[in-house]
Structure 1
């Protein structure tokens, strides 16, 4: 099989298989797939793997790590182990309980969501469509089943199931099966609980009927709560109805004036002194005191676009008006905050703060508001009003490197520390523990010295459950922390664990590791890389063993290709690039090269991507390697307000450097990119003589018209993206007109000598198709060679399989003709006359 695949691949390289024989190409490529680990048993004895490719392969395998054997499972949507000996599988038709020892299965019919009850080991099954709630044992025996259940809650901590069936509220103890029922007067849409109380509510626009069951007294009470006059309860936002501290009911509201505003379907009115989302139905918040029967905090109709963020599990939150952002040129806008404490008892104005989550937090104990500004972390004491830097003056690298730092945000979100007035902050490599009481910081990782980036691994249960609360994770320093490590020079990756109390670090750095999955006596690591398919490695007592390796048959083919990460230098600094060598590479031969461009695109090679001709952007690197091309992925450099010059300098330098590493035919280099990469391709073709041809997809060609237009995905003007996001112009078009013209490919089209293939989706709502068409019309007016492909029903990416195949084949034929001098395909031939 290896010989046949290799032979076919070599025939591809020698041009004996053209696009007219796509079936032969597909026959080679369908042998490849990606593999992913779905779940592992507690002992590590068994794992479930998924094998997938675009040719229809989507198989799940139960693999026995001890024996090295696997069996194909009937396809399910989710897998969970019930201890070491049973596997729970669910899909839309059934839930299957599979006994691994006896190889027997029991099915429960229905489209259930299955949740394992920790205390009892039983499985709660809920079919939302059929409104059926059931409880099953580990072996699949249905213990009981109840109809007409729309709402239920599993109280895992106390081993209790709570649900509403019709007009009855039920509680059931999972271990002994004891149940109680309570009669209700109305239909229920919302259900919640605390340690000693259960709450449920009938929600209508003007009134909420709240039922409270006191579990200690076994007493059920009903309370009616009317909405404030100018508002209606937002009954559709049930996840935002919340009771805190068994006494404060938090409600979402809609403003009546917006909700019932009459709109003319023939007319849209927009004002230049209003935020673009002014007409959006934003929700407001109110807080009702259940004990006192009064509103502690009323929604304010003077705030047009309110945003609320609770800062802890208590009653402290911030509110700001998004409507205050009128110009909308910044993503992380600066607005005035109102800090509200104790559910509305007091408040403080905090002027000019960055609004994005992760830019601020509140420490209730020390009464410090921590915020990020001017590339630094700051502390504001609301008692004294004093602001001061939180970290040593000589520390740096706290700001995000994304878009040259124009987003004005921290590198990572701060992490809260359980039970302490302390937080964990990260710069571009390392993590620091900051004690807010004594204002002392200590470095807990050591990656900066080796250019290794540490990333703290956080799970879903470490984030707050509340829809209102700021999404900051909380860690327990009494437990082990896990970090993922990434070497920014070699692209090696691994993991480290750290125990703060013992100051103990364990490093796992032996491969291109993606995931670390603990089991009872060891760890699993998954890995894959550019030309390295999936591997599963087991680590026990310091010993490493690869227990599963994907695509063993195709391994020799992949090993005949190579990949290298290298660095190049310009006056803008040092950057990375990745070069990939074709199958059967011979340093004594010259090879055509395709340069694929986008931001930080060398990172694209961190993942194994099987060969196929149905991509969403017209390019698959492994296909080109199998067809005799060198492929270059450079990380280009971007200087704010000088993007064109920095991009071109770095692009040409990366090519000059790769010519020292590989046998590149410098007369046959092509460039390709889509979206922002399409813009970079336009820059390259209008500014450089390095390229014989290019392919530009969904491109931006004119920054002036792009800045002064709207994006249909987002309500705000495109000048936000042009000034402070990917385009990095740094100034508005009216203050820097000449730079906008200089950085727009369309104004330099007289410089193009190379033929260009241009494509777009006619329904692209991200980049207007007019941008690509403008470039094509310029080529036509200048009597230069270009072809425009317009996919009538596609958007920004090509999503339908026939169109993906069409674009991939045309791109391949285009490069084969212009870089390999092959005869033009029928559709290219008119351009050659």
Structure 2
């Protein structure tokens, strides 16, 4: 009787399995192409000075990009142009737009248009209110200069280019008949010009000296290399004379804090010798000297009026001018390092000095944690030490603790003040008295100043000057890390106004008019296309443009959050997207896209396109009837591969609780580090039916010591302390490297794998993909490798992007949906051996 009951139960189970609704492959390339062709991506928005109008750019799958001018109070009024190469608001009511060689001056109030043909380039000089209009060679390379009302100011012929500096506009001309090169400075609001330079030699560069010395630096091309001059505004020139500068091919002018000197950085290229052998020495810190043409760098302070040249000490690097008191930051080169990239990741104490170019004296600054902010006026430095932020006074060379620790960020403001953000608070501190005053509390986990003014330094990414240009008017971004939401607030004279309330939408672009009375931004979300919003200071935000209005399926896409445990038993999350017209009674195959933590990107519009540099497009997969999941991965002491495997197993355990997920048809895709994770999981899991891995590492033992030609250095720093998080080298973490190496278990892969690589990839050697291909091929495993000629780490050319995108769709359709009429896959899968 029990046997009969078991048989009946088995038959019922089989029948239920047969009856359970399953989807047929929905991949319709015609539908997907039509969807992508109709999609539009709004790239940027630029308001007019008074906020009444705005430019915005739109990109398409195949059509040319467009520029649209829209009126904020009447958004149905739009002016659209294609093939635009230049556009500016030259005053609140006029726009200058260059389209296919035709300049149009558009009166935005009346709609009237003035046209000028044969124009090659335009540029608007905002500080002078000048529109520069350059005609093509048929018009004698004429530069016409107009004011902000498009009234002619002057014109100059034979112009080959111009440069716009902080305080000047320089125009370069070439007199072909006399074979002379000239440089002019525009003066008197563009009405006049002064000839600064004239010579037979071609002018390589003419720029402002970026020093209180004033004047300009001019470099000309001679047979012996560049010749360098300092030129006064009265056109009097002094040449830099130094035998050691013979043969220089490049000169860069950096900011100088010494008011009598110009800071020059020279480069001389020494071509590689065409010899039988290249000799590499183990004591060489920078292997770039062996892999590329050798560049000799020389940095000097040049005092043109006295003729003095002061060479910077080559035991230091990163020289950065601080204010105007002859002070420079400099960082001692660590000669104990084997390679220049050894300290790329992780905290390493740096000896950073404050050096006085006049006295030659320097002082060692307090050791920081990698963060430093310097006053644009040079009076002080803010240094984040292990004990918190300290103020270092550059005058008396003393340090004072400011009472701020982790979670705080400083911004210099006027009148010896610092604006601090601390968690969700905004504070002000007087640098003289050190008194603090809380200005505001924002409803958020943390806040940051939106786009402060920045002066970068040479001593590290986070050692820079961040300051306020208009410290009475500030935009702050509030962030809620757990909810992945943000808000934008406007602080004006200690009055806080909310511009964008807390939202889960992605705020892609944010801007304001000149007076901060009108605000513009682009918002989108996974199932919400790009919307441009406008908010007047006293009114609610309104949508002035909504893109992709024909995409009726977009709003039907839903997202489910899955909670699971990470590599350190912490709670992490995955986003599972459900396709349009989702039916919970049916079963759907699933594609997982892996990398590291990805949830911060999950509010991005799912743009349907075949122009994918990694081949994956979640929208195309959703339209083809797949569930698409982006899981977060965290990393523990066992290593990156085992950590990824643990996280993915945990998220699959959660996924199988959903009856509509077909756990017998699960695919995985990853590129770069995500490709490494895919390779490892493929060799250690039997829960998948197909894999796609692109430009991926397969042998971490080999690659950790191999040369990375993208950085021209060995790669071990990326493995020990960087992305791979091995916490040591192969020598002292041997077993961890072995346990996390995909190639050692690649023969265990038993499901189809599609590999792809760019043959010109200098970041991950294409041989890494070939190696795992060869293992699978040797052991008769189903594998296909796509080698994209002359493509790099991510595919950059549209034909390759489209080809890979289509092949990935076909690969998953074949192996997860059973769509077997794909010739290039059949060639591998049918009777391969």
Query: Is contact 1:97-1:139 (8 Å) kept?
Result: no
Query: Is contact 1:278-1:323 (8 Å) kept?
Result: no
Query: Is contact 1:329-1:724 (8 Å) kept?
Result: no
Alignment of 1:416 with 2:412, yes or no, is: yes
Aligned partner of 2:231 in structure 1 is 211
Aligned partner of 2:485 in structure 1 is 492
Superposition deviation, residue 276 in structure 1? 2.0
Q: In 2 relative to 1, CA 155–385 (structure 1 residues): closer, same or farther, beyond 3 Å?
A: closer
Identify the match of residue 289 of structure 1 among 298, 303, 324.
Answer: 303
Query: Is contact 2:84-2:98 (8 Å) kept?
Result: yes
Aligned partner of 2:330 in structure 1 is 319
Aligned partner of 1:198 in structure 2 is 215
Give structure 2 stretches of 5+ with no counterpart.
Answer: 1-21, 174-179
Q: In 2 relative to 1, CA 568–431 (structure 1 residues): closer, same or farther, beyond 3 Å?
A: farther
CA distance in 1, matches of 2:654, 2:26: 32
Aligned partner of 1:475 in structure 2 is 468
Alignment of 1:73 with 2:58, yes or no, is: no
Query: Is contact 2:444-2:479 (8 Å) kept?
Result: no
Aligned partner of 2:696 in structure 1 is 699
Alignment of 1:604 with 2:620, yes or no, is: no
Aligned partner of 1:252 in structure 2 is 265
Aligned partner of 2:51 in structure 1 is 44
Of the structure 1 ranges 565-574 and 760-769, higher mean CA displacement relative to structure 2 is found in: 565-574
Deviation string, structure 1 residues 755-786 (Cα, Å, up to 9, x no partner) = 22222222221111221122222223333332
Aligned partner of 1:339 in structure 2 is 354
Q: In 2 relative to 1, CA 344–756 (structure 1 residues): closer, same or farther, beyond 3 Å?
A: farther
Secondary structure in structure 1 of the residue aligned to 2:595: coil
Superposition deviation, residue 529 in structure 1? 1.4
Identify the match of residue 31 of structure 1 among 35, 38, 44.
Answer: 38
CA distance in 2, matches of 1:793, 1:278: 22
Superposition deviation, residue 482 in structure 1? 1.1
Aligned partner of 2:510 in structure 1 is 516
Query: Is contact 2:64-2:83 (8 Å) kept?
Result: no
Query: Is contact 2:523-2:530 (8 Å) kept?
Result: yes
CA distance in 2, matches of 1:769, 1:396: 42
**Number of aligned residue pairs:** 777
Of the structure 1 ranges 531-540 and 125-134, higher mean CA displacement relative to structure 2 is found in: 125-134
Q: In 2 relative to 1, CA 76–265 (structure 1 residues): closer, same or farther, beyond 3 Å?
A: farther
CA distance in 1, matches of 2:399, 2:471: 31
Alignment of 1:774 with 2:765, yes or no, is: no
Alignment of 1:270 with 2:280, yes or no, is: yes
Q: In 2 relative to 1, CA 313–186 (structure 1 residues): closer, same or farther, beyond 3 Å?
A: farther
Alignment of 1:562 with 2:562, yes or no, is: no
Identify the match of residue 105 of structure 1 among 96, 102, 114.
Answer: 114
Superposition deviation, residue 509 in structure 1? 1.7
Give structure 1 stretches of 5+ with no counterpart.
Answer: 1-11, 214-218, 399-411
Aligned partner of 1:737 in structure 2 is 734
Query: Is contact 2:558-2:577 (8 Å) kept?
Result: yes
Secondary structure in structure 1 of the residue aligned to 2:602: helix
Aligned partner of 1:63 in structure 2 is 70
CA distance in 2, matches of 1:225, 1:825: 68
Aligned partner of 1:147 in structure 2 is 157
Aligned partner of 1:299 in structure 2 is 312
CA distance in 2, matches of 1:298, 1:719: 34
Aligned partner of 2:663 in structure 1 is 666
Counterparts of 1:157-236 in structure 2 under 5 Å? 163=171, 172-175=186-189, 177=191, 189-192=205-208, 198-201=215-218, 208-213=228-233, 221-227=236-242, 230-232=244-246, 234=248, 236=250
CA distance in 2, matches of 1:32, 1:13: 26
Secondary structure in structure 1 of the residue aligned to 2:642: helix
CA distance in 2, matches of 1:479, 1:637: 42
Superposition deviation, residue 437 in structure 1? 4.7
Deviation string, structure 1 residues 588-610 (Cα, Å, up to 9, x no partner) = 22211100011222333332242
Superposition deviation, residue 113 in structure 1? 4.0
CA distance in 2, matches of 1:347, 1:131: 51
Counterparts of 1:427-446 in structure 2 under 5 Å? 437=432
Secondary structure in structure 2 of the residue aligned to 1:226: coil
CA distance in 1, matches of 2:244, 2:190: 49
CA distance in 2, matches of 1:40, 1:13: 48
Counterparts of 1:795-806 in structure 2 under 5 Å? 795-806=792-803
Of the structure 1 ranges 647-656 and 327-336, higher mean CA displacement relative to structure 2 is found in: 327-336
Superposition deviation, residue 663 in structure 1? 2.5
Query: Is contact 1:233-1:254 (8 Å) kept?
Result: no
Identify the match of residue 132 of structure 2 among 115, 124, 127.
Answer: 124
Q: In 2 relative to 1, CA 710–252 (structure 1 residues): closer, same or farther, beyond 3 Å?
A: same
Identify the match of residue 621 of structure 1 among 618, 631, 636.
Answer: 618
Q: In 2 relative to 1, CA 163–522 (structure 1 residues): closer, same or farther, beyond 3 Å?
A: closer
Deviation string, structure 1 residues 25-83 (Cα, Å, up to 9, x no partner) = 31233111212334222343332232222223422222233332323214212321122
Query: Is contact 2:98-2:121 (8 Å) kept?
Result: yes
Q: In 2 relative to 1, CA 688–530 (structure 1 residues): closer, same or farther, beyond 3 Å?
A: same
Secondary structure in structure 2 of the residue aligned to 1:649: helix
Q: In 2 relative to 1, CA 565–491 (structure 1 residues): closer, same or farther, beyond 3 Å?
A: farther
Aligned partner of 1:573 in structure 2 is 570
Query: Is contact 1:704-1:733 (8 Å) kept?
Result: yes
Secondary structure in structure 1 of the residue aligned to 2:823: coil
Aligned partner of 1:656 in structure 2 is 653
Query: Is contact 2:678-2:693 (8 Å) kept?
Result: yes
CA distance in 2, matches of 1:703, 1:211: 55
Identify the match of residue 451 of structure 2 among 448, 458, 476.
Answer: 458
Superposition deviation, residue 223 in structure 1? 3.3
Identify the match of residue 790 of structure 1 among 787, 791, 805.
Answer: 787
RMSD: 3.8
Of the structure 1 ranges 465-474 and 331-340, higher mean CA displacement relative to structure 2 is found in: 465-474
Superposition deviation, residue 441 in structure 1? 6.4
CA distance in 2, matches of 1:40, 1:831: 56
CA distance in 2, matches of 1:145, 1:436: 50
Of the structure 1 ranges 516-525 and 730-739, higher mean CA displacement relative to structure 2 is found in: 516-525
Query: Is contact 1:813-1:824 (8 Å) kept?
Result: no
Aligned partner of 1:86 in structure 2 is 94
Superposition deviation, residue 622 in structure 1? 0.4
Q: In 2 relative to 1, CA 532–738 (structure 1 residues): closer, same or farther, beyond 3 Å?
A: same
CA distance in 2, matches of 1:516, 1:631: 30
Q: In 2 relative to 1, CA 263–322 (structure 1 residues): closer, same or farther, beyond 3 Å?
A: farther
Q: In 2 relative to 1, CA 560–123 (structure 1 residues): closer, same or farther, beyond 3 Å?
A: same
Secondary structure in structure 1 of the residue aligned to 2:553: helix
Q: In 2 relative to 1, CA 104–152 (structure 1 residues): closer, same or farther, beyond 3 Å?
A: closer
Q: In 2 relative to 1, CA 651–415 (structure 1 residues): closer, same or farther, beyond 3 Å?
A: farther
TM-score, scaled relative to structure 1: 0.83
Aligned partner of 1:502 in structure 2 is 494
Deviation string, structure 1 residues 601-620 (Cα, Å, up to 9, x no partner) = 23333322421334222211
Identify the match of residue 114 of structure 1 among 123, 129, 136.
Answer: 123
Alignment of 1:359 with 2:371, yes or no, is: yes
Superposition deviation, residue 329 in structure 1? 2.6
Query: Is contact 1:310-1:468 (8 Å) kept?
Result: no
